[in-house]
Structure 1
């Protein structure tokens, strides 16, 4: 039985925190400075965490390794099970040719890439986050943007930035309900408080997305659409989380903003240029509007094949199409084929919606197996039994299993044979092998830091800032999500600590607990888990470091803005925003 202590190094919390932060520093340096491959960065940081836990925290080596093994297993199920299946569904649409139909359909709704980025990455991605989470929005929206002519790097960065503000409420409010469970605070108050923080950031994310797609020229052309998108999303998210149903905040906000963007883009379309160009991977600069006519999926990277578009080097190249050339306009697709192109995503929405019906949810969860990880015996800092060794094998109700069901329905609708579907799944796993290794190393790192007490040491040290902790509170959530890739996991790690620190500093516990969830949303874009999913989806394996460097500056700017907002909410100036 292992019980961690907060200050193992010379009885000094500050020195212990300095050492406890070494794994995170190692991860960021290897990924962002040394530019090593993501899986090497993850396992390098894991090695440092194991050394610190054994030598500094006196954690038995066997317990440390068992904790790492549980984290790696959790990465395989449910995380790899989820995003791997999501990409498999995409591959089947490529094999059947319906992804081209979907691309042409989106191009006819709006041939402007700025509008397409808002509708697909931000609005549709929010809907997917509200239903499924666990990397599904990033995996699906990146390849959808890719098929519309976005360069691989741009598709990945846009999807990562868009998958921020929905993360606070996640799949049907799970991050908030988890936060309520670990803090013993009312769920409705936490949801309402998060709904008065995250929408402020949501106002600016669409503008950032438009700027990423087209630079200043894109902002001048499409600012009114972006502003309408941000306002409608923020208002819907605020009203739903405060006065309707917190669990539906992202779903309602995503649907409302999608309708608003579509209407505004038709009533007040972005200004057109005479020479629209397709964005390419070779020059990943400001993107121009995609032409209305179809784009052939061939070019320097080769034709679309069952292995994924543009993969002459095999599955390692992923699904990236490096460049495209404009050809003669394609005849209008038959309505039945257009329906089939949208069907996989409609099926996903329908299945996840039905899975939340109480009777169906109870039936799915009835076969869940819960057990203690063999040989792992941990206590918390307070001496209570730790919940970390508990492994929940929800094999039927998990997101990945529901996606498999959606994939089977997709097979029937798209008329994909079982053999073709099985081959596509094998190719998906082969193309994701480095991503799988990365996620396993990353989750093993998170579990070791949590089980050994390193995470608690860092959080307790930050909580010693007293009244200034209101400014640091969102940063703690940001670090938690950057490390684990999940707002739910970050709330589990730091939720109780936020409440304790608030009580010691005389601050509102609801404010700081919600700040953990709200600050975590902008950590999603630099989470190695999400970076790996995005890179793998568009064939940028090994370039996670490039994505990290592109995302890090914006993530820092946004977390500073969130910290300032929470800090002001802790003062009389904005205290009226606290429920």
Structure 2
């Protein structure tokens, strides 16, 4: 039995098909934003509704719909869930061994101001991790660091999700842009240039937005010099690297330049007042009392600080290594070169890579071009970023001298704590796979493409919708990239601008993607509070995607000279 996708399945009408396709999405919004369900309940019920819509309205065989959900669930566990488990595990090791106290002290030695700490950790360090790894690692690690520094968990998660807007399009060594070259035929360098003429405007604005959310307008203006250093150095580097080097390095270079520029600047410039959250008032009073009693704060040597940061330095190095394209191929067992070391890695990667077909689904779904769609459980164990982080955890065991017994106990505690968050992630990724294989997501994309002369304005919304559904800018580009190109040519819009707008609009949907929400909550210990985080981020997602819509329309009509 096969199933042929029909994007006008409901009454042969694209409009009614789109209305029906919106049902699971609207339900998910309602479940989190209004009903405030726990994340795993919202995820599982949304998945169930998506399966019912696929079966009863889109006429997808029930068995195929269920197996499609299983394919998504497996992907939700590996690689996404695997990254969360190992990221939180690494953080907990540093806490267990007391190293995080030294990390906290070293950050405070740069600045005690929460506003600047957020720029350093959530914006710059998070962007670096996005460029090196992607797939949830940036939010998981940077949010955990902020909580360790004393940030409220909800604020830590929300700020890191919003900060992750700037780097997503160039994440994981430029994969979202490199991947879309295939289905569109547009050179990745051209798309990189165009995205690099859109996102820097957001990158310059996001640091201001982060601090304003934290502290209000007046206290934001107090640290405006630091905000400008953080945002402008990131934006300028992002523009230059994306336009003259390509899509692989903008995140890593921009993040490093921004991080070091702000750290050095903070050594010479201090805000007039130190901002802390209101809940910290009691702690500040206690600290003041301790100072009156002549209790000097603890000081650490350079060696102690280096040792404390070593787990994250090791993590950065290994993740960066995992992201190098040639090594990535070897880790997945696809290397065909002659290097002896990479050939050995390739053999191990091949042995640890499993691609079993999804029963009853593989090559059973027929797309509108009449071609069967492959469906496999993609289990690249060695190549997964989570495995790189696990290796960092093993090395950290020796750096921190934690016993194997305590190491295993911390891992067990981490697995227990993350059981429901991983269930949430598996269910929402399953939902994404069902909407894609049934044709629901394409129906929604085709509906937006019918906006005619206004398409340049609505074009980024396709990317926003794609990332909300799939949780990935790469997936959104693969899903809607060619549709963007075809529609742009039909309405007189430059296809390079349309494809770039898909990626730029997509980054603003990352902060409300069910996967991202679940990842962030898992990282900061807010399992079951996904609705609170969703309500925190959704208004900023709408605001930022509106900015990208306006920007894209103006680049199409007024500032067309910006198109490469």
Query: Structures share a fold, TM > 0.5?
Result: yes
Q: 1:163 — aligned with what?
A: 164
Which deviates more from structure 2 when the two are superposed, residues 368-377 or residues 446-455?
368-377
State whether residues 149 and 279 of structure 1, in contact with CA within 8 Å, keep that contact through their aligned partners in structure 2: no
Q: 1:312 — aligned with what?
A: none
State whether residues 130 and 248 of structure 1, in contact with CA within 8 Å, keep that contact through their aligned partners in structure 2: yes
Alignment: residue pair count: 541
Q: 2:519 — aligned with what?
A: 533
State whether residues 100 and 308 of structure 2, in contact with CA within 8 Å, keep that contact through their aligned partners in structure 1: yes
State whether residues 355 and 376 of structure 2, in contact with CA within 8 Å, keep that contact through their aligned partners in structure 1: yes
Is structure 2 residue 545 aligned with structure 1 residue 578? no
Could you list the per-position Cα deviations for residues 455-477 of structure 1 after superposition, in whole angstroms to 9, with x for gaps in the alignment? 11111111011121111111111
Unpaired stretches in structure 1, ≥5 consecutive residues:
282-286, 297-325
1:550 is matched with which residue: 524, 530, 536? 536
SS in 2 for 1:204: helix
State whether residues 236 and 249 of structure 1, in contact with CA within 8 Å, keep that contact through their aligned partners in structure 2: yes
Q: 1:108 — aligned with what?
A: 109
Unpaired stretches in structure 2, ≥5 consecutive residues:
334-349
Q: 2:475 — aligned with what?
A: 489
Q: 1:306 — aligned with what?
A: none
SS in 2 for 1:143: helix
The 5 Å alignment of 1:306-321 reads none
2 CA distance for matches of 1:174 and 1:94?
33
State whether residues 84 and 136 of structure 2, in contact with CA within 8 Å, keep that contact through their aligned partners in structure 1: yes
Give how far 1:329 is off: 4.0
Q: 2:332 — aligned with what?
A: 365
SS in 2 for 1:21: helix
1 CA distance for matches of 2:295 and 2:23?
57
SS in 1 for 2:3: coil
1 CA distance for matches of 2:503 and 2:305?
39
2 CA distance for matches of 1:181 and 1:343?
39
2 CA distance for matches of 1:224 and 1:428?
40
State whether residues 132 and 323 of structure 2, in contact with CA within 8 Å, keep that contact through their aligned partners in structure 1: no
1 CA distance for matches of 2:276 and 2:422?
35
Q: 2:242 — aligned with what?
A: 241
Q: 2:176 — aligned with what?
A: 175
Q: 1:78 — aligned with what?
A: 79
State whether residues 192 and 246 of structure 2, in contact with CA within 8 Å, keep that contact through their aligned partners in structure 1: no
The 5 Å alignment of 1:294-309 reads none
Structure 1 residues 163 and 62: alpha-carbon distance in aligned structure 2, compared to 1, 3 A threshold: same
1:374 is matched with which residue: 335, 359, 365? 359
2 CA distance for matches of 1:213 and 1:386?
46
State whether residues 355 and 379 of structure 2, in contact with CA within 8 Å, keep that contact through their aligned partners in structure 1: yes
The 5 Å alignment of 1:145-544 reads 145-272=146-273, 277=276, 279-280=278-279, 328-357=295-324, 360-366=327-333, 367=350, 368-376=353-361, 377-387=364-374, 389-544=375-530
Structure 1 residues 360 and 46: alpha-carbon distance in aligned structure 2, compared to 1, 3 A threshold: closer
State whether residues 519 and 559 of structure 1, in contact with CA within 8 Å, keep that contact through their aligned partners in structure 2: yes
1 CA distance for matches of 2:449 and 2:120?
40
2 CA distance for matches of 1:244 and 1:125?
21
Bigger proportion of residues as helix: 2
TM-score, normalisation: structure 2: 0.92
Structure 1 residues 108 and 289: alpha-carbon distance in aligned structure 2, compared to 1, 3 A threshold: farther
Could you list the per-position Cα deviations for residues 479-503 of structure 1 after superposition, in whole angstroms to 9, with x for gaps in the alignment? 1112222111111221121112112
Give how far 1:334 is off: 3.0
Give how far 1:328 is off: 4.3
TM-score, normalisation: structure 1: 0.90
1 CA distance for matches of 2:419 and 2:325?
36
Give how far 1:27 is off: 0.5
2 CA distance for matches of 1:201 and 1:227?
13
State whether residues 111 and 289 of structure 1, in contact with CA within 8 Å, keep that contact through their aligned partners in structure 2: no
Q: 1:42 — aligned with what?
A: 43
Q: 1:51 — aligned with what?
A: 52
Structure 1 residues 292 and 560: alpha-carbon distance in aligned structure 2, compared to 1, 3 A threshold: farther
Could you list the per-position Cα deviations for residues 122-177 of structure 1 after superposition, in whole angstroms to 9, with x for gaps in the alignment? 00000000001111111111121112221122111111111111111111001111
Give how far 1:293 is off: 6.9
